[in-house]
Structure 1
Amino acid sequence: MKKFTLCVAGLACTILVGHGYASAQSSKAISDPSPRRFREASNLPDLSGLVWLEGNRFLAVHDAKIEGELANPRVSLIELPVNSKGVRWQERTVKFHDLKSNDLESAARIPGTLDVLLVESGDSLDDPAFQRIFKARVVGDSVQIVATAQWPVPIHNVEASAVAAFGTHSVFLFAERAQNLPSTELRWALFDPDTLRFGSFSSVTFPNPNPAAFNRPLVAMDVDSVGQIYIVAAFDAEAAGMLDPDNGPFASAVYRVGVVTESFGIPVVRLFDSPELKGMMDGFKVESVAIREDAERGLQIFIGLDDENYGATLRLLPPPPQDLSHR
């Protein structure tokens, strides 16, 4: 009987020792940050600006700075996924003919062409060297800078721009992101895409569509073929003074807010009485929006993300339920 008891005790000791060893090994594995055990989910840079080109192809700009980010990508071509490997992208080497771009925060395709404006935010009011608008031409897989202009008006931090067709003319639109402000100014002017010359600017005050949810009223914009204006409002953790802001939280929404129309032969932006919600993205920081229109699919809204430490991606926005369209 005593012998049996000793055997049981010995077995119990063996189990306890084994369990303790396994726990120690498990703890070590969990805390070991060795890069050999993990891979980055994606190396796609932030999609600060986005335009649809044709088919399944888009052009994106990235907000790389001159200081500390000189080797980072500025411009990429992006294609929609064809399988479970996800979005495909190619960094494009762009010759700026002078200083590299600093903080490209938006892009605007000139309607009816594959010419795209690459727009610096101007987030350096004292340095006009980095307040430029580049005209790029997409030829096959290459992106070539064909012209450059200085911002025609004083700016502070522009994150949204677009070009709308206006008869045989073009209209350039832009807005400051107006961080932590109740509204921003949506501004527009006639624009000659051949010479990069701008007419006199007009403006309308655009209030934050949801001040309780968003601290950046307008961070992206695009215009469809009939002049309807789509914008993005966002919540940014850093702007809210939160701890570890590059890990979020984030939130964003896409709205249709107005239309480019005409009055006595000149372009006018008319805002809707209430912005029309097209999609709410809790947990994601949208920084760009692009409208795709074709005969096969009709009108689709694509969003480009810059989720900081979580990385970037491109998504097709589903149409909202009918009862939320005027939220």
Structure 2
Amino acid sequence: MVRLITDSDIQDMSLVTIAIEAVEMALDYRRNGALTSPPRHPVAIGSAGSLVFTAGGLDGGAAPVAGFRAYTTFNSERDEQIVAVWDVHVGSILGLFIGTKLGALRTGAIGGVAIRHLARADARIVGVIGSGLQARNQLEAAACVRDIELAYVYSRNQTNRLSFAHDMQERLGIPVVAVETARHAVESSDIVICATSSSFPVIEAAWLKPGAHINTVGPKSIDAHELPVDVGISASLIATDSSEQMLAYPKPFFLTGTSAMQRVVDLAGSIASDAFAHRQREDITLFCSTGLAGTEVLVGAKILEQAAVGIEITP
């Protein structure tokens, strides 16, 4: 039997915690060399865009799994995705996830793990730039790893940011305030989440308070980046989830050619070291999310294992 799971099945906040722990497990396997996580592979479909594959899995542990995620860059109305999870021992398909939610849940969970290890332990205020699905999942994950007391949100569309504030306040049970400027969202925040599609910087380094942590989820190429380069230069600690993916982008990473590029470290390896333990209270930290392959498969596998969601179908 194969379990079929759609976006409507992946709504409960308990799944965010499951996803975060699955990503922690994936990073542990990555450190030990058991996680297979090559850069994503785009397949151009004429002028329409690309079908993009991320594949991976693990060959260690009691329940090794493998699989892939496929999504598109067609910019069409539905833009659905699929994640397939296999049992490596048996060779059977355990589950199929259809929709957009699992990918965003996984990306949010990676951001949550970065916040868990990079943000100050007393971080209580979050500023969110962006109001889409990625922004929502990043804030959910932040609330799972820190005792968040207040969140600000800014996006260019007033209706969208008001809707975000209303929905997330109800979902998380904390005050979420829509503000009129990006600066207002950033300048008093302990954690700053940038989750936009902007090709130009949406914040300024001067707005960051001492000791702030930043997650960037949006564009990060040298000619299109949502963060200014000087945020990277001012950061004492810079991490990414996949250095392989960072170097495999069609265009150079936005910090290329700067002193900051030499300081980018792998999140998995650094968690195991004492690199993060020695941060000073006023150090700025930065996490650049690139999408660690294999994590969506492990998140999917953990949901299949721990949550009674979806329907069973016979192949």
Asked which structure has the greater CA Rg, the reply is 1
The answer to which structure, 1 or 2, has the higher relative contact order (CA under 8 A, 6+ apart) is 2
Structure 1 and Structure 2 fold alike (TM over 0.5): no
Give the TM-score normalised by the residue count of structure 1: 0.30
Q: Quick check: which one's helix share is greater?
A: 2
